[in-house]
Structure 1
């Protein structure tokens, strides 16, 4: 199992840490995320946003300057460069948020994106190519363009070099790289055509030492997997340990999203424990049609509480409205 802790963003209604557990639940074939709790942060420092709302936007000079800026050649080139880049990064981001992605697969997807960034220095993206044609004609989709030094031009090669450097920092480092490389032995497409019986044994032992698993049992299960081309029961703990490694904090962000739905401006007085309980019900609890309330009803009775229909309880005294002066009016409503 793995424990994930993430801090809420600055736009959240509540400054807190969220705690998730990624584990293999008995009786389930796949690993799952389980919300545990949220912990309030007593202080949170951040730079104040600039007071842009107080600025006057009625002056025509502002719009005139904006028009001159967005019709510059360099602005169009920079805009389409960022468009192509963010489109590819958004697709990578969605793939990394998948709940069933493995460590080796995530590492490979980031490496593939690095190759794309390197290639983009030589061959531009589709939107940037459209912008280059528009610059030659000084017309972008019917809007006349102007040349000028109002906007700083982003050199494409330098931009992708910086992007590549930033993405390389997101790759696994030192011994974690070995874990990723060793984990690919479970992917049958990476196996040779006729693997030897001891194929991948070194990688299996390395991972067993890292996850504190019995080496002899796991190695025997992997040999059986090589011969029969299916995962035996003795190899399931090894497979579950690899799946429990969290790839990103996307699940924590989903928890913060639910927290923001619960703690709104009209419900900001909730106690932290109440918010945590509501989040647990929303994130981990079963659907209403599958909810079994009897265990909770019994615990309610164990605390000395009674049913509303209990004859031994004090009978509620109800007011008599049979002779009320408005009874005739009530019949009309």
Structure 2
């Protein structure tokens, strides 16, 4: 849909030259993470082991029960293990690696117990023994700490980009700050990485004795990994052009927007500072009276950004009306899947639409006043719940001697 020659966005821009094209920032974050996975083979190695853990506990109630028993014996709070770096938001990947971090002693004990269980066949015992060895290897503990730190930062960024009140300029500021943080973390390890490195030095992590692992185990280079994440984040998110030079005017658009915010004004700027950018924005958003906006901008600058005239506020509202992420659409899809289930296939489209509207924008129950709707319902001739004038249906009870024994058991 975003093809440069015949994509939907390109065709819309041909029909409407002033349209503002914006690829969802949350999805571009996922693309940046996918680029890191492609570039660094050690991430794929780590992901494959995490997928094995997910497959082990998502398809077997017996394995989940054994893991719960191991966690209770170690007084560890059990967390759900899901998939990482797949089609879901990056925040779900952090929840998974954080669950493995918290459940690490219970996971190792379960693998060890299962590998020594004589009731299992030899192949199964060797499988659990291999998982225990890989889980307690230096490479896995190192990768687990690095991935926890990185995914925690990226998940918080993803949540920020999905907020309803986020604007283009605030999102740009948040992304730029996150890139600087990731670059700094390449020199200064995070909390998870420090704990994992300490465990490797002491050869013991959360009470589990570690081993050197196999030569095929790949360990992430801390500095290279965080620099790669920062680089891909900058290429994907600070330029709508993706991995190619900025051809969509994203950087030019951001520079134009910065003149509307006092924190970006340079010291000692001349009297005409920002007027060219304001005129360009008025043209982009089809403002009918750009001269009035320009005079309002001069007054806005004279007040040091404290008093914004109504004419300039119109331009700012137009800028902030651009959604930077499609999270609202994703929330709608999620609610639709919860409402329209196989067990409710008889719902009509207008009913589903009304239920979606209530779930997405309706007030919570403590702020909902049902009295007007109840009065409207009763005024249309419907009976209320306490109406005693309705006739009671007489049900004939059939005696079934063959079922008396079963009924007696159920009622005893």
Partner in structure 1 of residue 130 of structure 2: 65
Task: Confirm whether residue 181 of structure 1 aligns to residue 255 of structure 2.
Answer: yes
SS at match of 2:344: coil
Match of 1:106 in 2: 171
Cα contact 2:203–2:210 (8 A) shared by 1: yes
Q: 2 CA distance for matches of 1:72 and 1:96?
A: 36
Q: Distance in 1 between matches of 2:143 and 2:324?
A: 32
- What number of residue pairs does the alignment pair up? 268
Please state if 1:220 is matched with 2:295: yes
| Post-superposition CA distance 1:289-317 (Å, at most 9, x none) | 178559x969xx9xxxx6359xxxxxx99
Say whether the 8 Å CA contact 1:104–1:181 is kept in structure 2: no
Aligned match of 1:120? 185
Superposed displacement of residue 115, structure 1 = 2.0
- From 238, 249, 266, the equivalent of 1:171 is 238
- Check whether the contact 1:195–1:226 (CA below 8 A) recurs between aligned residues: no
TM-score normalised by structure 2 residue count: 0.56
**Shift in alpha-carbon separation, 1:207–1:291, aligned structure 2, 3 A:** farther
Are 1:267 and 2:344 counterparts?
yes
SS at match of 1:266: helix
Which residue pairs with 1:279 in the alignment?
A: 356
Question: 8 Å contact 1:81–1:127 — kept in the other structure?
Answer: yes
Give the superposition deviation at 1:122.
Answer: 2.3
Q: Deviation at 1:180? A: 1.5
Q: 1:289 aligns with which of 352, 355, 369?
A: 369
Give SS of 1:169's match.
helix
Give the TM-score taking structure 1 as reference length: 0.68
Superposed displacement of residue 318, structure 1 = 5.7
Q: 1:263 deviation in Å? A: 2.1
Q: Cα gap change, 1:4/1:259 in structure 2, threshold over 3 Å: closer, same or farther?
A: farther
1:281 CA displacement: 2.7
In 1: Cα distance, 2:195 partner to 2:147 partner: 13
In the other structure, the counterpart of 2:98 is none
- The more displaced of 137-146 and 177-186 is 177-186
Moved more, 77-86 or 104-113: 104-113
- On the 8 A contact 1:118/1:164 being kept in 2, the answer is yes
* 3-state SS, counterpart of residue 177 of structure 1: helix
1:45-75 CA distance string (max 9 Å, x none): xxxxx99838996633332221111000000
Q: Which structure dedicates a bigger proportion of its chain to strand?
A: 1
Tell me the alpha carbon deviations over residues 184-211 of structure 1, each in whole angstroms, 9 at most, x when there is no partner: 2222222345654422111111111111
The aligned residue for residue 38 of structure 2 is none
Higher relative contact order (Cα pairs below 8 Å, separated by 6+ residues): 1
Q: Does the CA contact (< 8 Å) of 1:182 and 1:203 recur in 2? A: yes
Q: Distance in 2 between matches of 1:160 and 1:98?
A: 25
The 1:319/1:113 distance shift into structure 2, 3 A limit, reads: closer
After superposition, the CA RMSD in angstroms is 3.8
Cα deviation per residue 1:218-260 (whole Å; 9 max; x = unaligned)?
A: 1111112122331111112101111111111122222223223
Q: What CA distance in whole angstroms lies between the structure 2 residues aligned with 1:192 and 1:170?
A: 25
1:198 aligns with 2:204: no
Q: Secondary structure at the match of 1:270?
A: coil
For the residue of structure 2 that corresponds to 1:123, the secondary structure is: coil
Distance 1:233 1:136, change over 3 A: same
1:76-155 equivalence runs, <5 A: 76-149=141-214, 151-155=217-221
